[in-house]
Amino acid sequence: MKWNELPPDVAQLSVNDLTPRLGFVDAMRVLGLPAGSPPVVLFRTDAALRVEAHARSRSVELGGLLVGNVFSETANNRVVAIEVCEAVPSEQFDSTSVSLSMSPQVWQEAAAFRKNDLHVVGWYHTHPNLGAFFSGTDRTTQRGFFREAYSLGVVFDPIRNEEAWFIGPEAEPVLRHQIVRT
Ligand SMILES: [Zn+2]
């Protein structure tokens, strides 16, 4: 299964849908940001635990998909927040400059989340003991296959306990204060 065979499937939600889904503190943090701020990432515990368990399961490069919701301002469609609700680990993971291969089961599992209105919002992979950064190949993968404004790319180094988040086709860094673990 090549990632670029997958159709984009995200229906963006309005920022008005966001507040009832968040606790008070999270909502204030999101909505209190000045206009034009980069999007906030809400990294739900279920997703964080699943990624961490997968990342620590083997000391080879592995990865998977992130599923969740995208929240945009109604007026201009600007992405305000991405909620990462779940992770879908892939048994097979092979990222090169021209393709990203994952197990067929990953797509099936990610597609199954759609009945809960959760969509693919990005991908993650590991760099065991190499440090958390986006390589040239990772940038190419992001630009080629995760090219929406909300698309997240995350690298974890489970040995050095590092992580790095990127967003959008040009893999802009997501800074630590933009990530809310909740
Ligand atoms: Zn990488």
Domain ranges of the chain: 3-181
Q: What's the predicted TM-score (pTM) here?
A: 0.85
Burial of 32 (0-12, 13-18, 19+ CB in 10 A): exposed
Whole-number Å distance, alpha carbon 63 to ligand 1 midpoint, is 9
**147 pLDDT higher than 50:** yes
Please give the residue that has the higher pLDDT: either 31 or 43: 43
**71 pLDDT higher than 60:** yes
Strands 40-43 and 179-181: parallel
Whole-number Å distance, alpha carbon 125 to ligand 1 midpoint, is 6
**41 pLDDT higher than 60:** yes
Q: What was the pLDDT predicted at 27? A: 64
Please give the residue that has the higher pLDDT: either 76 or 86: 86
Which tokens go with 49? Answer: 């635990």
Whole-number Å distance, alpha carbon 5 to ligand 1 midpoint, is 21
Q: What was the pLDDT predicted at 19? A: 66
Whole-number Å distance, alpha carbon 60 to ligand 1 midpoint, is 11
Whole-number Å distance, alpha carbon 39 to ligand 1 midpoint, is 23
Whole-number Å distance, alpha carbon 165 to ligand 1 midpoint, is 12
The mean pLDDT of 146-160, rounded to a whole number, is 95
Q: What was the pLDDT predicted at 74? A: 78
CATH of 3-181, one of 1.10.10.10, 3.40.140.10, 3.40.50.720, 3.30.70.330: 3.40.140.10
Provide the residues around ligand 1 (an ion) whose CB is within 5 A: 135, 138
CA–CA dist 54, 147 (Å, integer): 25
